[in-house]
Amino acid sequence: MADKGRVARYQADRTNQKFYFCRKACQEAGLTTDKQLYQAHCETAIFHLQGAFWAFLQELAHFYNLDTTAPTVEYLETALSTKTLVSPELQRLKLSLESGVVAHIVKAYQRCQYAPVPDSSTVTPSSHDLIVNVVTLSNQWLPDEQTIRAWRTDFMTLVDDMRGGMVEY
């Protein structure tokens, strides 16, 4: 049983580590004046918030004794229903995925993965060069570090609240 507690602690530590890395990336973004470095730090922060979401899903899988290393919300729902269990934490996550902080994080993460299509009114014959497009167009959609910091705080609060309700049985 002590081994289970150690593994559970590791799962929580991994989620917390992702929150820490996000905080560090936001700090670095706030310290730079270079536009490209700012964008890199903000994207890094978003990647770590998405990683915290995945790490928390692993925490939930471990808490409910589900055997997976890469859980999704859908997997957890299906696995829990076969055990005739309901997870209040999963229900809260689903709500946040629909219209809360997790929805913002996931959308920002997806936008980091795929280059936004430039508006035809902003593309001029001289801006077809890839480097120019990256510098001038690619971060128009990117949230600033203050927004990302707020998402981090909101998501950490949500995770801490859910952890408060999770009691080993």
What are 101-156's pLDDT values in tens digits?
Answer: 999 999 999 988 886 666 665 555 554 455 445 555 556 678 999 999 999 999 99
What is the DSSP annotation of 114-144?
SPPPPPTTT--GGGGSHHHHHHHTTTTTPPP
Which has the closest alpha carbon to 55: 95, 102, 1, 111? 102
**Angle between helices 88-99 and 101-113 in degrees, nearest 10:** 60
| Structural domains counted in the chain | 1
Q: How confident is the model at residue 1 (pLDDT cuts 50, 70, 90)?
A: very low
**Angle between helices 88-99 and 145-165 in degrees, nearest 10:** 160
Residue in the block written with tokens 């990302």:
148
What is the domain extent for residue 157?
2-165
State pLDDT tens for residues 28-61.
Answer: 999 999 998 999 999 999 999 999 999 999 999 9
Q: Distance between CA 47 and CA 57 in Å, rounded? A: 15
